[in-house]
Amino acid sequence: MNLTPEQREQVANEVKRFAADLQLTSDQKEKLQTAFQDARGKLGDYMKEHPGVTKADIVKQVAGQRDQIRQRVVNFLNPEQLKKWDSEIIKAKEFLGQPMA
């Protein structure tokens, strides 16, 4: 999925805002970063294994990774942070043009 420079900047700004809103501890930041890095690595591996992958396939793969990340964050976010997390995931889906699940 190719984003314009403006879209990339918008995403980066939203991530920064969201991270500040969650008020993560240093430990939580580290755990979340690890979860994202793992998911990004898995997506990269998938794209290497499937060079002709379509945008729809990538969206499906990303959705699967999102579910795995959610399972991990349940272990270290408090209930208030988790509620904010879930709300932001809905906004991210809307931004990416995905139907709400």
Note the pLDDT tens digit of each residue in 15-70: 788 888 899 898 998 888 888 788 878 888 888 898 888 888 887 887 777 778 88
Range of the domain at 48: 5-96
75: helix, coil or strand?
A: coil
- 101 lies in some domain: no
- 41 lies in some domain: yes
Q: How many domains does the chain have?
A: 1
Amino acid at 87: S
- 47 lies in some domain: yes
- pLDDT at position 100, please? 44
CA distance 47 to 57: 10
Sign of torsion over alpha carbons 80, 17, 56, 42: negative
- 10 lies in some domain: yes
- 3-23 tens-digit pLDDT: 678 877 887 787 788 888 899
- pLDDT at position 101, please? 45
Q: Would the pLDDT of 96 be above 70?
A: no
